[in-house]
Structure 1
């Protein structure tokens, strides 16, 4: 197994995502364990990490969506606000292990569809387990505590999987055809069927061995030494453009890739700061994207963490701030000043050929402070100042309707979901059950906290 580590994974490559908004329990913060004190920041250790040519021993997401990397007797993870990396001794959180980890795995049970996916209904700890592998044994934790009956032999918990695995990662029905766990040992991949409790060996010669494996927002990564590959189950296909250097994406190293951009994030990269968002959108698949400064957040992904990522890495080719955003007909539209770009979100956002285009030509408006479409509707509402104009996206050419008065004298962003229309201003949001009730309101709806509702920040 290998060695660097750290967290704040900004994967400039392919993104994807989804999952309902459910806040983590307070005791799960910082890795999902009840053990130990707040891990200290260590600039010297991070600098040494950035000079290292080794690799990770293991990597996974914890029960509360924190990304964790294991290296010898140390663990690296992101700070609560994102961006900064902190290290702590392995024994601080998992004293039962007594030695380095070979592989790590977060395994969660799938939840039934929720009527209101943005409203917290149950805690992730009740649905998930964290498995840590060492030699021929495995430890399982739930809610940060060792589960009864563990440690166990790996072959007893995962029949057909040998001891001494190099890496492990969960793979869901839409990705692997069933609920699976992929175990890596040398050049062999053991696909373990969670329901049938059987493992089948596979060969993915193009991928090779993995020192650590990670699933993040529906994308799969194999880490080996200082490099990583993205792969696609169930056949292990490799998209072009790999390998890439871990230190440009997984580690916030000064002057390099993701870390270089991170240095200029400031309060914009701290999800719990009072900095306003310039744009939000809920797309056709239920993904919620938020834009602030030069970073982008995914707000529907509690299982994978609410981390900030450099704007250009998430939305290739995009430069500068996003002022408004909306989704329609399988595309995401991002407005910047007098221009608009369209992206196809499938298999990682990619810009549609022919964009950016002039906002006036595309939508029939000259500017936009905010914009939104509601689920299943082709009607776009564009807000500028205290007025909103309706645009029928099915028309060619598109024309904006007469401006209608809003009960707000300017907003930062807007979004429409099955729960209604949500307008954002400063650190607060205002919610209306429908467009009609928004337009008929004489005064703003009561303000509520953006940080508490959408970012799961402590009160």
Structure 2
């Protein structure tokens, strides 16, 4: 299975409307340089070269979010990791056909396990260690799945019908659902064709064929890319290749895209699917998926045609609202974000106010809370017309953003956040509570 390719730094190619993430090289990696001009770990003479046109045989994330790539008898760990012998790092003496990180929260004993497949056998790993009882036959671990598969990728419930694994063999896929009685559905995806490796990154699925890759729909197999792209320009750190060199020379942009830079965030939002977004300067981070690495994305990556600074964001009735200056734009949330026709609309027309510093709505509520300066107003979104209630003072002279989730209400200002159990506590507090650190709590920054 020669040539699948992939590593992780899915970077943004705005002219094509595509963006790809950067995979962290270690759990607390805060690097903002996805494509260094010179990569000191790139090794052309020792062991194997990750930048040849061979691609990789398999790739996956482990339970810590670290990327691993495999080709022949070699493996690479991390975006810039040097080649290592498989028999020294994974206790395998053969090349890897396929790899994936299992996702099944209903079965904790297998959730986040990393699986490597070769021939008729499968190896299971967790926290870097080979699990007891492995290797074992694929037919026992995944009954109904054939031997000698070409690729494999986990599929999450909501993206597929259930938590499952997609195994590729030629242009046939075997969708394995580990229920009480495991189910395997066989599909023929002729349009996608054979994949030499497959990979999932933040709800997007990629099929690799040698040096090239395409994005696909994990339910239908539909090809979603306009054309194949070269893996070395997106997934692998290779000298002289990749995108974004000019952007890296812009110190301000680098600071915006570095989640740990200490710059304020203009908006936080958590939707009904548990996705938590952090917005700054026309870019956003996902704060709920640290085990998939960290990466700054342009707004248009998830919300078509959305650009510029987001002043506030909130989700209500499976729709996400974006406030930018004096306008509101709305996107439907399930399963991907699609724009609601007729927007943007004036903020005054939609919510009955003209300016917003921050806004939040709590789960299962229809009441939106809007903060401007040191005043809080509430709007019943079920009401027509929507009329904001009386202003109530809060113990903050300025707020950058706000969010409500199961833990309570967060107010964000500068590098700090303040947590309240509910609105009543917020409006009756004589002074703010003890501040917490945004970067450390929400973005896993260690510095």
TM-score interval for Structure 1 and Structure 2 normalised by the shorter chain: 0.7 to 0.9
Separation in structure 2 between the aligned mates of residue 100 and residue 132 of structure 1, nearest angstrom: 10
Q: Per the alignment, do residues 328 and 108 of structure 1 end up closer, same or farther by CA in structure 2, a change over 3 Å counting?
A: closer
Q: Which moved more, 1:381-390 or 1:62-71?
A: 62-71
Q: How far, CA to CA, are the matches of 2:430 and 2:304 in structure 1?
A: 41
* Counterpart for residue 143 of structure 1: 127
Q: What residue ranges of structure 2 are gaps of 5+ in the alignment?
A: 20-25, 30-35
Displacement of 1:205: 1.5
Name 2:353's counterpart in structure 1. Answer: 365
Match of 2:104 in 1: 109
2:214 aligns to what?
229
Tell me if the contact between 1:248 and 1:258 (Cα under 8 Å) persists in the aligned partners.
no
Stretches of structure 1 lacking an aligned partner (at least 5 in a row): 16-27, 32-39, 78-84, 113-123
Corresponding residue of 1:315: 303
Q: Secondary structure at the match of 2:409?
A: strand
Distance 1:298 1:432, change over 3 A: same
**How far, CA to CA, are the matches of 2:18 and 2:66 in structure 1?**
19
Match in the other structure for 1:43: 39
Could you give the per-residue CA deviations for residues 293-317 of structure 1, whole angstroms, max 9, x where no partner exists?
Answer: 2321122224434433222212221
Indicate if the aligned counterparts of 1:404 and 1:439 stay in contact, CA closer than 8 A: yes
Q: Structure 1 pair 187/294, CA: closer, same or farther in 2 (3 Å)?
A: same
**Can you list the C-alpha shifts for 1:271-325, whole angstroms capped at 9, x where unaligned?**
3332221100112232211112232112222443443322221222122221211
Q: What does residue 139 of structure 2 align with?
A: 155
Q: What is the alpha-carbon distance in structure 2 between the residues aligned to residue 262 and residue 312 of structure 1? A: 20
Of residues 327-336 and 211-220 in structure 1, the stretch that sits farther from structure 2 once superposed is: 211-220
Structure 2 residue 262 is the aligned partner of structure 1 residue 274: yes
Label 1:261 to 1:70 Cα distance change in 2 as closer, same or farther (>3 A).
Answer: farther
1:435 Cα offset (Å): 0.8
User: For the residues of structure 2 that align with 1:126 and 1:181, how far apart are their CA atoms?
Assistant: 12
Q: Are residues 1:328 and 2:326 paired? A: no
Structure 1 match to 2:22: none
DSSP-derived class of the 1:88 partner: coil
Q: Distance in 2 between matches of 1:282 and 1:306?
A: 17
2:193 paired residue number? 208
Report SS of the residue matched to 1:43: coil
For residues 176 and 415 of structure 2, the distance between their equivalents in structure 1, rounded to whole angstroms, comes to 45
CA deviation after TM superposition for structure 1 residue 429, in Å: 0.9
1:192 aligns with 2:186: no
Q: Is the 8 A contact 1:421 1:434 kept in 2?
A: yes
Is contact 2:5–2:59 with CA below 8 Å preserved after alignment? no
Asked if 1:431 corresponds to 2:416, the answer is: no
Give the TM-score of the pair, scaled to structure 1.
Answer: 0.79
2:166 is the alignment partner of 1:182: yes
CA distance in 1, matches of 2:84, 2:268: 38
For 2:129 and 2:438, how far apart are their aligned partners in 1?
Answer: 31
> Secondary structure in 1 aligned to 2:379?
strand
Q: Distance in 2 between matches of 1:301 and 1:178?
A: 19
- What's 1:29 paired with? 27
Corresponding residue number in structure 2 for 1:167: 151
Structure 1 pair 137/30, CA: closer, same or farther in 2 (3 Å)?
farther
Distance 1:180 1:50, change over 3 A: closer
1:246-325 to 2 correspondence within 5 Å? 246=231, 250=235, 265-325=253-313
Task: Write the deviation string for residues 318-346 of structure 1: whole angstroms up to 9, x where unpaired.
Answer: 22221211112221111222222111222
Aligned length: 422
The structural deviation recorded for 1:209 is 0.6
Q: Which structure exhibits the higher relative contact order, with contacts defined as CA atoms closer than 8 Å and separated by 6 or more residues?
A: 1
Change over 3 Å in CA distance of 1:158–1:306 after alignment to 2: same
Aligned twin of 2:445: 457
Cα distance in 1 for residues equivalent to 2:41 and 2:339: 38
| Distance of 1:383 and 1:164 partners within structure 2 | 58
- Say if 1:223 and 1:184 are closer, same or farther in 2 by CA, change over 3 A: same
Please say if 1:220 is aligned against 2:205: yes
Larger CA deviation: 216-225 vs 246-255: 246-255
* Higher deviation after alignment, 367-376 or 258-267: 258-267
